[in-house]
Amino acid sequence: VSGDNPSMPWFGMDIGGTLAKLVYFEPCDDHGRDEAETVTNIRKYLTRNAAYGKTGHRDVHLQMDQVCIGGRHGSLHFIRFPTTEMSEFVTLAKRKGLAQMAHTICATGGGAYKYEAEFQKEVNLVLHKFDELDSLIRGLQFIEENNDQEVFYYSNPRDPATNSKVVYDFSDPYPFLVVNIGSGVSILAVHGPENYSRVSGSSLGGGTFLGLCCLLTGCSTYEEAIELAEKGDSHRVDKLVKDIYGGDYERFELPGDLVASSFGNMHCVDRRANVTKEDLARATLVTITNNIGSIARMCAKNEGIERVVFVGNFLRINPISMELLAYAMDFWSAGHQKALFLEHEGYFGAVGCLLELMK
């Protein structure tokens, strides 16, 4: 019922440990002059550009058109920047006159608490704070309902030659497990639209991958870390079953190429001398991914849930991890558990937060 809606602009923000995610709803239906002026002002800066300074990006490929929120029609825009730039963002928001346009901004993630006072003081904006996991579930459900191409899986995770991304029909979703891989990891069991619990977590997450990779290779961005990993071979870093057995460990059906010990070869001087930073990046990625995969499998088994949805920006531009997770879930559960992935990766919290405005 559009009459009861808050005034534009509508933003949702998720200020995480590494990345701040901003979702903006741009209406395309006409609702009077005041609103048109606000929308035009925001378009001039936000939706006309795809890059903001050196570190802000709009993920144009994720833009969703013809979305209906609170009875209004329009587009959803997806923007991200490093959380370390929050103060610059606040300054920019002030300069672009956001405070004159917006009265409140819905925010979630730890930064909603950390930066609340700064928003209030600098821009005179009140942050309406919402819980990040409530927002994540809400956003995930909304995006899934509005995009029939959102959910996908890998058709043949055990055979790289024939493996491909396939759209998954998630219209009957419950129950499912959500594994949110951000800086750290949170695992939720979702049984219904308003019925979920946080069942586990891990501090070994995307932030660990990036941190260790920077230490081991001297790289300084996530993009660089992923690029290095793409070119590396983790087998030169890890100790494999065949390094120990000379082949397979047949009695327990453990193939020779299986990792027995992540980074297990790096205590040998000569092995160390032969690895490249690409190999180290790949091994870091594989170690973190496999650890998350194994925690996810145990949680799914404990909860008696078969479908596991992996989200979070650790999966951004990272097919290596997605394919590895799909493989691990399939192989170790003998085909019982299924790994699912979502196109909007790390934006669900911000979307769920925007939707809170309508409540």
Q: By the criterion CB under 6 A, which residues form the site for ligand ADP?
A: 16-19, 109, 182-183, 206-207, 209-210, 222, 312-314, 316, 346
Whether 49 and 58 have beta carbons less than 8 Å apart is answered as: yes
| Helical spans, DSSP H, in the chain | 33-42, 86-95, 98-101, 110-114, 116-123, 132-146, 206-217, 222-231, 241-245, 269-273, 277-303, 319-332, 348-356
Q: Which residue lies nearer to ligand ADP by CB, 27 or 346? A: 346
Q: How far is the CB of 280 from ligand ADP (least distance, A)?
A: 16
* Smaller CB separation from ligand ADP, 42 or 339: 339
Whole-angstrom CA distances from 116 to 112, 125, 148, 180 are 6, 9, 36, 24
Answer for the pair 256, 242: CB distance below 8 angstroms, yes or no.
yes
Half-sphere exposure of 176 (CA within 13 A, CB side): 23
Q: How far is the CB of 212 from ligand ADP (least distance, A)?
A: 11
Short-list 123, 176, 126, 118, CA closest to 151:
176
Q: How many Å apart are CA 67 and CA 76, to the nearest integer?
A: 7
Q: Are 89 and 81 contacting, i.e. CB atoms less than 8 angstroms apart?
A: yes
C-alpha dist (Å) from residue 119 to 53, 82, 91, 112, 206: 20, 17, 9, 9, 28
Residue nearest to ligand ADP (CB): 16
Closer to ligand ADP at the Cβ: 96 or 316? Answer: 316
> Cβ of residue 317: shortest distance to ligand ADP, in angstroms?
7
Query: 107 or 240, CB closer to ligand ADP?
Result: 107
Task: Choose the catalytic residue: 35, 37, 116, 132.
Answer: 132
CA atoms of 152 and 150, how far apart (whole Å): 7
Nearer Cβ to ligand ADP, position 129 or 316? 316
Q: How far apart are the first and last CA of the chain?
A: 11
Question: Which of 2, 354, 341 has the alpha carbon at shortest distance from 144?
Answer: 341
In contact, 186 and 295? CB cutoff 8 Å: no
The distance from CA 64 to its chain's CA centroid, rounded to whole angstroms, is: 17
Alpha carbon distance 233, 7 (integer Å) = 53
For residue 159, the minimal CB distance to ligand ADP (Å) is: 28
- Quote the least distance from Cβ 16 to ligand ADP, whole Å: 2
Q: How do strand 338-342 and strand 51-52 relate by DSSP bridges?
A: unpaired
Q: Is 343 a catalytic residue?
A: no
Q: Which is nearer to ligand ADP, 97 or 110 (CB)?
A: 110
Shortest approach of ligand ADP to residue 104 CB, angstroms? 21
Smallest separation (angstroms) from ligand ADP to the CB of 343: 14
Q: Please, which residue, 265 or 287, has the CB nearer to ligand ADP?
A: 287
Active site residues: 132
